């Protein structure tokens, strides 16, 4: 007979078998898991939820991840780059509204001009906000020098999901070529840490062919690599991508959603003091998805501040939410929802990863 969830949750350390069991919990058992994760969250990181205003800076991308709607090979995507003035305007909105931080995310690009453009933007945002706005970047794999330049310009957190932690499985979801190299992606995480960033990573949940064993290995990967912040959410199909051909192999969206909630809850129990984001993909399946993630362990939320005219074009997957809401509307509805989920908003605070602070001290 398999162990009772209650017994597993009393253990200090979870074995691989225990984690699989937790991810496999049924409707009644998962409530126990969620309650425990909520307790751990409150004890280690408190009730506060921190805002990171998200600017989807550009959907231009040099890569061809097989699942992503803005991959280079999708000729139907209408490409854009937000202007520097518009980014600054979004940053000013975030600052005026005491968001604490912003995230600049985009497809992966390189080149001298691009690197300099981002460096300048980071500096300008810092200047405009008198150093008060925290900046997270999510701009893919770059050289150590680029990471360092952006860090010195003022960015202090970086998100780079490993996507799937098993090197063998990686090439089921990425072309097997020089621009999609597992070791390079892994190395990028080391470089980010070396340069001094708070390092964020994560995975997609519910990919075709993925098992609970694989997801357990993903959680152990995040723990073994001592990641400071995690963003992980359900994989959602996009019809203009090669992975769409496997849509019949997917578990139903609601199951992907609950599996993602369980992943968040188990991760909170395993890595008690890290930052965990309530991801947009959760909201794409359930309108209250992000708030439900907050209830079971997440403590970061990324309200979308991308100028509305670009939103329809940053379409990573189908049914992406909030593509037509402006920042004001987004803010008002979010605030109420976070309170409903028992959270408090950490206005004007960076809300850095406590785990990072601890790792720097030791």
Q: Which two tokens stand for residue 299?
A: 């403590």
157 contributes a contact to ligand SF4 by CB under 6 A: no
Q: By CB under 6 A, what part of segment 230-259 binds ligand SF4?
A: none
Nearer to ligand SAM, 14 or 104 (CB): 104
> Are the CB atoms for 51 and 41 separated by under 8 Å?
no
Contact 295, 50 (CB under 8 A): no
Residues 182 to 221 in contact with ligand SAM, rule: CB under 6 A = 204
- Work out which of 100, 140, 234, 289 binds ligand SF4, going by CB under 6 A: 140
The DSSP code for 181 is -
Site string for ligand SAM, 298-327 (x = CB under 6 A): ------------------xx----------
Phi, psi torsion values for 276, nearest 5 degrees? -125, 130
Among 36, 41, 52, 63, binds ligand SF4 (CB under 6 A): 63
Contact call for residue 104 and ligand SF4 (CB under 6 A): no
Contact segment (CB under 6 A) with ligand SF4 among 68-76, 192-200, 203-211, 336-344 equals 68-76
Buried b / exposed e over 290-305, threshold 16 CB at 10 Å, is bbbbbbbbbbbbbbbb
Residue in 140, 206, 321, 346 binding ligand SAM, rule: CB under 6 A: 140
Residue 71 interacts with, from ligand SAM, ligand SF4, none (CB under 5-8 Å by kind): ligand SF4
* CA gap 359, 362 in Å, rounded: 5
Q: Which does 285 bind (CB under 5 to 8 A by kind): ligand SAM, ligand SF4, none?
A: none
∠ CA 270-275-276, nearest 5°, is 75
Beta bridge partners of 49: 345
CA distance 7 to 17: 13
Say whether residue 160 binds ligand SAM (CB under 6 A).
yes
């Amino acid at each position: 007979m398999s162990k009772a969830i209650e017994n597993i949750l009393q253990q200090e350390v979870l074995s691989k078998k225990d984690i699989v069991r937790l991810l496999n919990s049924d409707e009644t058992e998962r409530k126990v898991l969620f309650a425990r994760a909520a307790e751990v969250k409150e004890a280690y990181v408190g009730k506060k939820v921190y805002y990171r205003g998200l600017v989807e800076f550009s959907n231009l991308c040099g890569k061809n991840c097989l699942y992503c709607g803005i991959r280079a090979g999708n000729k139907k995507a209408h490409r854009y780059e937000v202007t520097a003035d518009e980014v600054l305007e979004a940053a000013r909105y975030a600052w005026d509204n005491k968001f604490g931080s912003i995230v600049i995310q985009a497809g992966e690009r390189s080149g001298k001009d691009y690197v300099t453009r981002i460096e300048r933007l980071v500096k300008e945002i810092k200047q405009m906000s008198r150093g008060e706005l925290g900046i997270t970047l999510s701009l893919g794999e770059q050289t150590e020098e680029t990471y360092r330049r952006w860090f010195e310009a003022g960015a202090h957190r970086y998100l780079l999901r490993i996507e799937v932690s098993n090197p063998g499985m990686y090439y089921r979801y990425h072309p097997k070529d020089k621009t999609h190299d597992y070791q390079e992606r892994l190395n990028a995480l080391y470089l980010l840490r070396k340069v001094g960033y708070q390092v964020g990573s994560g995975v997609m949940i519910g990919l075709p062919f993925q098992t609970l064993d694989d997801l357990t290995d993903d959680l152990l990967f995040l723990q073994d690599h001592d990641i400071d912040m995690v963003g992980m959410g359900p994989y959602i199909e996009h019809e203009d991508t090669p992975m769409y051909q496997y849509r019949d192999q997917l578990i139903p969206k609601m199951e992907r959603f609950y599996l993602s909630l369980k992943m968040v809850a188990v991760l909170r129990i395993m890595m008690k003091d890290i930052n965990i984001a309530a991801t947009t993909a959760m909201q794409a399946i359930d309108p209250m998805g992000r708030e439900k993630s907050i209830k079971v362990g997440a403590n970061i939320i990324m309200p979308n501040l991308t100028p509305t005219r670009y939103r329809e074009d940053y379409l990573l997957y189908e049914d992406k939410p909030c593509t037509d809401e402006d920042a004001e509307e987004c803010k008002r509805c979010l605030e109420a929802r976070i309170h409903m989920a028992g959270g408090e908003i950490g206005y004007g605070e960076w809300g850095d990863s406590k785990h990072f602070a601890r790792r720097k001290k030791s």
